[in-house]
């Protein structure tokens, strides 16, 4: 993490893993958007044997704003509204970017080999959830979202299956989003037209691991509110009539026993 301190008012104190510079940067656009508060604007670089690597992220406090793509030297904003702030000055100078690339390559060749079979591999327990973008309506187009959190390292193979059959069309993934504690999250999308007979699975496999984590999604059988209301009213009426009949029956039996005595 190589953060720059942005002073939005008052003294600034920052702690981060890595080097913290004392330079104060002026960010009127950010100051206008987020108010006069102390924030940390930094860069995070991660390297790994699998893809994607290397990846350079621009962070605002604990939120990712931009990702630098070393392949085509493009800047990818996390959300569309950040495009207004994306420019060649968003990340470090070309000289620094070249240094980051060489640093990743040398780390892969030297440090990884030196630490192999000595330090344990860090892995997170995946948190997977599947849900729809829009309220469920049978026969109407919708989109399934597979949220995958607690990703360490950010190297996953994500596939979708419908009734056990692998799907390749209508599938899309976001990039990895950096979170707190060096964790990542990613979203996968699948366009569907749900029916009652279909079932879907989001299958996640970590690179270099044969284990596959599976999250299921099966369409529920929603009951229209009017039908449910009519059913409850009918049930209440039926119980009322039954209890009324039972009351008259007990009253009749009590009077007969009283007359017999």
Backbone φ, ψ for residue 91 (5° rounding): -105, -175
Segment 64-113, tens digit of pLDDT: 788 887 877 777 777 777 777 776 667 767 788 888 888 888 877 777 67
β-bridge mates for residue 200, sequence order = 162, 217
Same domain, residue pair 104 and 143 = no
Kindly report whether the global pTM for this prediction surpasses the value 0.75. Answer: no
132 within domain boundaries? no
Same domain, residue pair 104 and 169 = no
187 within domain boundaries? yes
Same domain, residue pair 97 and 39 = yes
First-to-last CA distance in the chain?
96
Residue 219's pLDDT band, with cuts at 50, 70 and 90, is confident
Same domain, residue pair 105 and 204 = no
108 within domain boundaries? yes
Spatial distance between the Cα atoms of 39 and 57, rounded to a whole number of angstroms? 16
Q: Count of CB atoms within 10 A of residue 39's CB?
A: 21
Spatial distance between the Cα atoms of 50 and 108, rounded to a whole number of angstroms? 11
By residue range, what is the domain housing residue 17?
4-115
Q: Is 190 exposed, middle or buried (0-12, 13-18, 19+ CB in 10 A)?
A: buried
Same domain, residue pair 13 and 45 = yes
Same domain, residue pair 11 and 91 = yes
Among 109-123, 178-192, 210-224, the range scoring the smallest mean pLDDT is 109-123
Same domain, residue pair 81 and 157 = no
Same domain, residue pair 13 and 78 = yes
Q: What is the CATH number of the domain that holds 209?
A: 2.60.40.10
193 within domain boundaries? yes
Mean pLDDT of the region 217-234:
72
């Amino acid at each position: 993490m190589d953060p720059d301190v942005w002073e939005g008012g008052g003294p600034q104190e920052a702690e981060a893993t890595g080097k913290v510079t004392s330079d104060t940067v002026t960010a009127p656009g950010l100051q206008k958007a987020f108010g006069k508060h102390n924030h940390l604007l930094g860069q995070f670089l991660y390297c790994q044997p699998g893809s994607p690597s290397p990846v350079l992220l621009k962070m605002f406090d604990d939120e990712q704003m931009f990702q630098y793509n070393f392949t085509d030297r493009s800047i990818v904003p996390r959300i569309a509204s950040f495009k207004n702030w994306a420019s060649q000055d968003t990340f470090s100078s070309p000289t620094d970017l070249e240094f980051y690339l060489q640093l990743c390559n040398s780390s892969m060749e030297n440090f990884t080999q030196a630490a192999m079979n000595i330090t344990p591999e860090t892995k997170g327990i995946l948190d997977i959830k599947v849900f729809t973008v829009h309220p469920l309506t049978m026969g109407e187009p919708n989109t399934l979202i597979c949220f995958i959190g607690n990703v360490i390292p950010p190297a996953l193979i994500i596939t979708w299956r419908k009734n056990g059959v692998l799907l390749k069309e209508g599938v899309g993934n976001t990039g990895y989003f950096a979170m707190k504690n060096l964790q990542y999250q990613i979203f996968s999308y699948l366009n569907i037209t749900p029916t009652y007979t279909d079932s879907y699975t989001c299958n996640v496999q970590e690179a270099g691991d044969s284990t596959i984590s599976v999250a299921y999604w099966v369409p529920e059988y929603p009951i229209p509110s009017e039908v449910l209301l009519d059913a409850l009213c009918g049930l209440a009426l039926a119980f009322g009539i039954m209890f009324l009949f039972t009351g008259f029956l007990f009253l009749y039996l009590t009077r007969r026993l009283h007359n017999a005595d």
